[in-house]
Amino acid sequence: MHLRRSRRELLYGLLFASPWIVGFLVFTLYPMASSLYYSFTAYHITGPTQWVGLDNFREMFTQDPLFWVSLWNSVFYTVVSVPLDVAVALVLACLLNVPVPGRTFFRTIFFLPTIVPTVVTAITWSLIYSTQDGIANDLLAIFHIPAVPWLSSPDWAMRSLILMTTWSAGQTMIIFLAGLQDVPVHLYEAAKLDGTGTLHLFRHITLPMISPVILFNVVISLVFTFQTFAQPFIMTQGGPLNSTMLYPLQVYVNAFQDFRFGYASAEAWLMFVIIFGLTLLTLRLSRRAVHYS
């Protein structure tokens, strides 16, 4: 009787979970397995699929200079953007954690940009960065500063994309706010009785107590930042002079412009390996700095 009841409950559970299971198998697991297979082939939309083994990876490392350019751009973009995004979000969270009038309003204001679609954000910032009549250059003109070629100069295009990442720091800020509100108040009160200053409170109490939250935000930001595609695709198309040709954009070009799906699949799997390796490295380096108690 008990065994029959357990089987019935398992059947009902699988039945309720079946939409997600089917969706995962059809839209996630099968495409991943297919792309892994195609990464070892010369696959085009038209024509037969030919098994080439490791030729795609060999070409990637030895014959494709744009591969190294895009990989370096993505690494640079990630290494600079992630600390900047996390630092800005942490500062905002600390400021908005102070009990002052109107802090709910300001929390909402800083979080609102994160719910704006990425395409809309990219178009908006393209208008802001416009060399002619752009808001950014209009503001600089007020202070008699020469106009900056934000997106039209190889020296400024990547900096402009990195600066834009602070626009969406609100999502990370909300997570930091949740972590800050879990810090025991009595720790601050005891430290203040000993005459501890604000900076020492932040360094010796706040940072250690929210270190798991910091690690979480760093890992999540690293994973998503390395996969950035829409912003350079809409705003610069990888230019000027490939200065913003990020790795995901390079994968897209090979897949949907050159129709080299096998080669693009190989690049995509290498990106997976790189992100996985960077995540493991981050977790390993954080062991001594993160406190879970």
Please write the tens of the pLDDT for every residue from 124-141. 999 999 988 889 999 999
pLDDT at position 293: 65
Question: What pLDDT does 204 receive?
Answer: 86
Please give the Cα distance from 92 to 174 (Å, whole number): 9
b/e string for 25-48 if b means 16 or more Cβ within 10 A? eeeeeeeeeebeebbbbbbeeeee
pLDDT digits (tens, 9 = 90+) for 43-55: 887 778 899 999 9
pTM beyond 0.75: the answer is yes
Rounded to the nearest 10 degrees, the angle between the axes of helix 65-96 and helix 103-111 is 170
Quote the mean pLDDT of the chain: 91
Q: What is the pLDDT of residue 247?
A: 96
Q: Which position has the token pair 């790189």?
A: 274
CA–CA dist 282, 288 (Å, integer): 12
Closest CA to 81 of 196, 137, 164, 156: 164
Tokens of 96: 């908005």
| 10-36 per-position pLDDT tens digit | 888 889 999 999 999 999 999 999 999
218 confidence band (pLDDT: 50, 70, 90): very high
The Cα angle at residue 204 between residues 203 and 206, in degrees rounded to 5: 70
